[in-house]
Structure 1
Amino acid sequence: MKKDIKLFVDAFLKEVQAQNAAVFLGAGASVPAGFVDWKELLTPVAQELSLDIELESDLVALAQFHVNSSGMNRHVVSQAILDALGRNVHPTENHKLLAKLPISTFWTTNYDSLIETSIRDEGKIADIKHSVKQLANTRSKRDAVVYKMHGDVEHPQDAIITKDDYEKYYRTHGAFINTLSGDLVSKTFVFIGFSFSDPNLDYILSRVRVTFENHQRRHFAFFRKRQKMAEESEAEFKHASVRQNLMIEDLKRFNIKALLVDDYSEITQALEEIVRQYRANTIFVSSSASVFEPWGEKEVVTFMRQLGSMLIDDSFRVATGLGLGVGNALFTGSLEQVYRSLDKHIDEHLLIRPFPQFVDDDHERQKLWEDYRRGFIPSAGIALFLFGNKLDNERVINADGMLREFEIAAENGLVLLPVGATGYTAKLLADRLISDPSAFPSFPRDLLPKVVELSKPVKDLRELLQPIKDLLTFVRKK
């Protein structure tokens, strides 16, 4: 990863964690999904005007020309939007990655619904704003607001697309201008797929720059480094390259840091790294015990309580389903440490999901538990497995629930860390991992010796605390 992109990952991750991050998506973010760009969208319009779309550089004016020639009738332009963007396509990997992060503010000039679809697919509530009147309403329990400042494909007649629309924008959509101006002041944006040729955004950025001068908040913008196209002459390519460099230099006036990539996949890699590092701060603890041999219940409970305290003290967020016999001890130790740190924002440190028990039908209960596990395990980046036994007609057996949690964690790319020294299912999982680590692609091979070490029997469970701490610190740094 390039140095400047790595610095972006570090900086933007901090903003995500502080809940100060925002995203601005341009047309280039939707093209990989199969949608057309503006030039393709307006090709039918150009054809009706007997113009060659390849020779047109001012596409806003092109849309205006058609409306003028139609007696101010927008039907063809609106139909072009519907035909181009009304298809059912799937969000890109970038949309999915952004939706996984706790980002509450999205802006876009796109008419499509890719980002709000991705947010909903993550089980989140998206509050969509594509008209001024909607800004006055707040959707209950929303997780993210999607501001579609140029309209929505479902309402093409209201889309901002002609010269007349842009010229009147400050009057017809002044509330959007004020809202975006406020977000640019208080949040750190990353611009993806945006060319910075939009006059509305240029006006808003200029207002912020004039007001704050040398105190503007820093933002980031991805650009693909200009490459020579097959039909281009050397002179045309040189002109385009120089122009891109001048545009990037000009963005410094707005404190926007340009990030040049050779391939769009580098943007995906950067977002993947942000998601990975964000999730690495949440550790899913899978544990249960009905019997506590050879240490005894008191020592096992003390160990789990100390483990919970240690995880919170190391700035991990603990996710757990309060496993039978030991889960409450983990929760108690975690909660005590939250209060000791004088930080009463419990939800920022603990994700507690007790399993519902009173479902009479066994099939329905198992289905509910499966959905439940799939709902919260993927929110973590690391999965720690401890003990794992239960009684079946007074016979001690391995916990099949822990086995399922291991499988779900593996499917979702969590770093798997079974502590075999605690025995039972955890030992079974550690042996499986050690014998065939290649079966688990998300497991870093350099962790194998540490997992082997944590599988050796111990007389005192407290001997495991420091090795677990060292292992988790190692994983988070990687």
Structure 2
Amino acid sequence: MVGNGRTRFLREFPASLHEGTGAIFVGAGVSMAAGYPSWSKLLTEIGEEIGVNSRDIQDLAALAQWHIRETGNATGVRNVIKREIGFDRPLPETVRTLARLPVRHIWTTNYDRLIERAFAEISRPLDPVAGAKDLALKVTPGATRLYKMHGSVDRLDDIVISTDDYELFRTKRGAFLPLLQAHLSSMSMLFVGLSLTDPNVRHVLSLIRESFTDAPPEHFAILKPPKAEDFTNDDEFNARLAQHKLWAKDLSRYGLVAVEVDDYDEVPELLREVERRVAAKRVWVSGSWPLEDGNSFTPRVYAVAEEIGRLIGKTHRDLVTGTGLLVGPAVVSGFMDALREGGGWDIDRRLIARPFPQGVSGRAVDRAQWTALRTEMARLAGVTIFLGGLKTNKGSPVVADGVMEEFALAQTAGSFVLPVGAFGGAAEQIAKKMIGASAPPDGPKASRPKDDELIALLNPSASDKQILATVRAILDRLAKVA
């Protein structure tokens, strides 16, 4: 690792994602992790046809250019790309995690469709932009934009591969440049899969240099040093390692902080840690409460739910809600009040609502869809607060089985479970289950409150103010650990 790059990365980049100012650049290393060939291997056959060993060439774009000149066209190069990259390989965990992060802008010089497939796998909207003309197309509401600045395997007649393509980039694909430079000037960008041997790297770094300002946002590059087993002899390995070390240090000229890993196998866990830290800024409030039974706790449940929503808003966290009966609307009301009081209405980003479709006459409730929505909310939230959790069955209040399902899903997702059990219902059952449980109550892997906090939140005689003070103390402690 170079300097304190990993520490800075885990502190700064999740915060940028939460604030909506994080972007991602996907390099060739990500494609190689999926089993696609490196640039050198991709062009091995091309080189052999003209008597050149691709391993001996640093400028692989020039190798493609030589082949095109010798054969009179780019068909051979395109056929190799189609054969080697045109089929689907298994999705690596790195790409799956990237698709789950709250990012709206992804850049890549790769031709493959890994990112498109990862987004489709979780039914997340994505707008690929593979050509300059695509930039003018209307953006799908809520979609992430994928800028394939060097083209795509499904449009081989319009890819950047040869020296001519790079030199004429401004003429043919120059519309990408102002947007990339704007993102580099205003966002924190994470570079994943950046490689010293990727012929696209020099091109991209030159564009970064052009957009460099006196105080640019901090960008990060996850890098893997070369390994001895990848080379035929020690001299070749040592030479490449020396180049890598100098290159990693040199990235600071472009505003990039190097975050080194020993192997690309570490990258998925590093990105999952980013995902967890972003999730820690999101709080899911799970609960329901019947309106018709005249329970004396009803006004208090509404008041506490509203104040919890206000607390989430004031502490710059995001709210995740399924809008459960009484509890959901109260939480949303308090949350929106906090946003208004803070002078901002950043609701489209900070309010993550997944209302459950209700059954109507002649139409049964889709339980599978409810479970899918609950599973998504559990994944999105790093903290889950349970409040109430009652419903009416044949005129009598009973524990809401849906809230108990949400408890199980929150645990599976690794969410910190915070039950306010003072008013009974599912939250009371959850709190009693957690007292004395083996799950850690503090530290970086905490998943429940301390026993004395659970007991305090179970006390029906505690005032609303005392309950809220305990909830806030727990959230503050989690924020410090994160």
Q: Scaled by the length of structure 1, what TM-score is found?
A: 0.89
Partner of 1:468: 471
Q: Name the Cα RMSD after superposition.
A: 3.0
SS at the partner of 2:418? strand
Deviation for aligned residue 1:37: 1.4
Partner of 1:453: 455
Give the counterpart letter for 2:245 in structure 1.
N
Partner of 2:63: 62
Correspondences of 1:28-427 after superposition (within 5 Å) = 28-72=29-73, 74-195=74-195, 202-203=202-203, 205-206=205-206, 209=209, 212=212, 214-229=214-229, 231-290=231-290, 295-361=296-362, 363-427=364-428
Deviation for aligned residue 1:451: 5.6
Query: In 1, distance between residues paired with 2:175 and 2:225?
Result: 35
Deviation for aligned residue 1:21: 1.7
Give the counterpart letter for 1:378 in structure 2.
R
Q: Identity percentage over the alignment?
A: 30
Q: Describe the shift of the 1:393–1:461 C-alpha distance in structure 2 as closer, same or farther (beyond 3 A).
A: farther
**Contact residue 327 and residue 387 of structure 2 kept, 8 A:** no
Deviation for aligned residue 1:242: 2.0
Query: In 1, distance between residues paired with 2:447 and 2:18?
Result: 28
**Contact residue 440 and residue 448 of structure 2 kept, 8 A:** no
SS at the partner of 2:229? coil
Query: In 2, distance between residues paired with 1:425 and 1:213?
Result: 54
Q: Describe the shift of the 1:437–1:424 C-alpha distance in structure 2 as closer, same or farther (beyond 3 A).
A: farther
**Contact residue 185 and residue 211 of structure 2 kept, 8 A:** no
Q: Describe the shift of the 1:167–1:382 C-alpha distance in structure 2 as closer, same or farther (beyond 3 A).
A: same
Q: Scaled by the length of structure 2, what TM-score is found?
A: 0.88
Q: Describe the shift of the 1:121–1:454 C-alpha distance in structure 2 as closer, same or farther (beyond 3 A).
A: farther
Query: In 1, distance between residues paired with 2:477 and 2:174?
Result: 50
Deviation for aligned residue 1:276: 1.0
**Contact residue 305 and residue 330 of structure 1 kept, 8 A:** yes
Query: In 1, distance between residues paired with 2:350 and 2:126?
Result: 24
Query: In 2, distance between residues paired with 1:161 and 1:210?
Result: 22
Query: In 2, distance between residues paired with 1:312 and 1:105?
Result: 25
Q: Which runs of 5+ in 2 are unaligned?
A: none
Superimposed CA distance per residue, residues 340-384 of structure 1 (whole angstroms, 9 cap, x where no aligned partner):
222233334433444333433564443443343334443221111
**Contact residue 437 and residue 443 of structure 1 kept, 8 A:** no
Deviation for aligned residue 1:41: 1.8
Superimposed CA distance per residue, residues 86-135 of structure 1 (whole angstroms, 9 cap, x where no aligned partner):
22223322222222222111111100111222233343321211112212
Query: In 1, distance between residues paired with 2:288 and 2:120?
Result: 33
SS at the partner of 2:175? helix
Query: In 1, distance between residues paired with 2:192 and 2:126?
Result: 20
Deviation for aligned residue 1:297: 2.5
Partner of 1:477: 480
Superimposed CA distance per residue, residues 57-93 of structure 1 (whole angstroms, 9 cap, x where no aligned partner):
4322332333233232x33322211221122223322
Q: Does 1:11 align with 2:12?
A: yes
Deviation for aligned residue 1:9: 1.7
Deviation for aligned residue 1:7: 0.9
Q: Describe the shift of the 1:20–1:276 C-alpha distance in structure 2 as closer, same or farther (beyond 3 A).
A: same
SS at the partner of 2:182? helix
Query: In 2, distance between residues paired with 1:61 and 1:43?
Result: 13
SS at the partner of 2:236? helix
Give the counterpart letter for 2:459 in structure 1.
P
Query: In 2, distance between residues paired with 1:208 and 1:464?
Result: 50
Q: Which runs of 5+ in 1 are unaligned?
A: none
Deviation for aligned residue 1:156: 2.1
Q: Describe the shift of the 1:32–1:364 C-alpha distance in structure 2 as closer, same or farther (beyond 3 A).
A: same
Q: Describe the shift of the 1:290–1:200 C-alpha distance in structure 2 as closer, same or farther (beyond 3 A).
A: closer
SS at the partner of 2:306? helix
Superimposed CA distance per residue, residues 197-242 of structure 1 (whole angstroms, 9 cap, x where no aligned partner):
6666535644653575644443221211233237554433332222
Q: Describe the shift of the 1:451–1:360 C-alpha distance in structure 2 as closer, same or farther (beyond 3 A).
A: farther
Instruction: Using the TM superposition, name which of 454-463 and 187-196 deviates more.
Output: 454-463
Query: In 2, distance between residues paired with 1:447 and 1:379?
Result: 20
Deviation for aligned residue 1:191: 1.3
**Contact residue 382 and residue 416 of structure 1 kept, 8 A:** yes
Give the counterpart letter for 2:460 in structure 1.
V
**Contact residue 313 and residue 339 of structure 2 kept, 8 A:** yes
Query: In 2, distance between residues paired with 1:293 and 1:476?
Result: 38
**Contact residue 420 and residue 430 of structure 1 kept, 8 A:** yes
**Contact residue 166 and residue 199 of structure 1 kept, 8 A:** no
Q: Describe the shift of the 1:408–1:241 C-alpha distance in structure 2 as closer, same or farther (beyond 3 A).
A: same
Query: In 2, distance between residues paired with 1:47 and 1:236?
Result: 21
SS at the partner of 1:288? coil
